[in-house]
Amino acid sequence: MTPPRSSVDRPEPASAGSGPFGVGGAGVGPVRTQHVVVATAADPLELDCGRRLGHVEVGYETYGRLDPDGGNAVYLCHALTGDAHAAGIDGVTGAVGWWDALIGPGRAIDTDRWFVVCGTLLGSCLGTTGPTTADPATGRPYGLDFPPLTIADQARVHRRLCRALGIDRLHAVIGPSVGGMHALQWFLDAPEEIGRTVLIASSGRLTVENRAFSAAGRQAILDDPGFDGGRYLERGGPGPVVGLAAARRFAHITYVSGGSLQRKLGDAPPSPWPPREAADWLAPGRAIERYLEHQGRSFLDRFDALSYLYLTRPMDDFDPFGEQAAAAARSAVQRNPAARHRVISFDSDWRFGADHSRALVDGLRAAGALDVSHQELAAPWGHDAFLLEVDGFPELIAESLR
């Protein structure tokens, strides 16, 4: 088989430099997202809910070149509302990949050494089959007719993408946030396919508080009259824009730290204060209120409410080391006990902080994994630190791949 080429439009990098992470080497340059069908009527995707999908298309990008023996493949599992565009400059939109500063020749994830793959999640609205895509049986958007999903269902689609690219075994699977859940589930489902995992700011089981924030966001969407029973896309309505913006505001609060908000925005009311009229008094006046309003509005331009529902719910149910799953986890790890697992947390992350990382370590060790380590990094940014400049983070990623 001819090794897959990168989805980079041309081999020459568009620019060179250290990037915000302070890692040397050039970026991958212009890229394009590609698409491949990974499930058909003859080979449907079987889901945990008991239903099946007879057509699944995945948006993906690749960087670097696969070795003839296929041993240099690294898979990236993106975070909740991310997508396959992890690196380079999109040839259509000009958008820079969400981990561009870490991926490229000479960078932490060195594309002179590694063949890097990133695929968009099943259920997303950003290039992979989900509730916003057309049901082949009706020609209309699935809406709530799309089947319920689990983390394992989404990991199966990642695995199918790799098979479509001719990749049988991965050097590593790297996942930040919910991507870490997919990386872990993938290992537990098919440990022989993965040499190591890198689980970043992730969790093996949500806390009640985590679930509460997600539930509040989903309910805001469901309660919005614009949701229209999930049929707003086919009926041409504006959709639950008020509810989706509210959901994003709820979630964004958990992605940042109190300290970073204080440093960025302060907390002083406008002057003079209070105003004479109640409408002005209740309107977003403080900087934090205006910031959250901006986060909600800007989210509407790039994401859909149905996909938000379908991507947040699987996180609530993820419990790979729980009482009902523990025996299966032990059995899986026994098939590859020497796989390496690196768990990384950030000290200001209160969404998936160090307690979550320690629980991941404990779960893997209890299941029999032999090489498990945890590093916590100092970072002021909260959960979003994996997207921002953190001292030592690029070096830790590079070391995790060696």
For the annotated catalytic residues, the residue numbers are 177, 349, 383
Task: List the one residue out of 252, 240, 259, 257 whose CA is nearest residue 289.
Answer: 252
Helix (H) or strand (E) holding 291: helix 287-300
> What's the helix, strand, coil split of the chain in %, to 5?
40, 15, 45
CA–CA separation, 89 and 96 (whole Å)? 5
| Residue in the structure block whose two tokens are 């290039």 | 127
The full DSSP string for 265-294 is H--PPPSS-S-SSHHHHHS--SHHHHHHHH
Q: Residue 98: which region, alpha, beta or left (left: phi > 0; alpha: psi -120 to 50)?
A: alpha
Radius of gyration of the chain (CA): 21
Burial of 1 (0-12, 13-18, 19+ CB in 10 A): exposed
Burial of 85 (0-12, 13-18, 19+ CB in 10 A): buried
CA–CA separation, 380 and 45 (whole Å)? 41
Q: Tell me the HSE value of 390 on the side-chain side, using a 13 A CA sphere.
A: 27
CA–CA separation, 96 and 379 (whole Å)? 23
Torsion angles phi and psi, residue 173, rounded to 5: -120, 125
Quote the tokens at residue 253: 């609060």
Task: List the one residue out of 355, 382, 350 whose CA is nearest residue 209.
Answer: 350
Going along 285-386, which residue ranges are E strands? 340-346, 371-377
Quote the tokens at residue 270: 């406008």
Helix (H) or strand (E) holding 45: strand 45-46
Task: List the one residue out of 313, 317, 318 whose CA is nearest residue 360.
Answer: 318
SS3 22: coil
Query: How many residues would you count in the chain?
Result: 402
β-bridge partners, 117: 62, 75
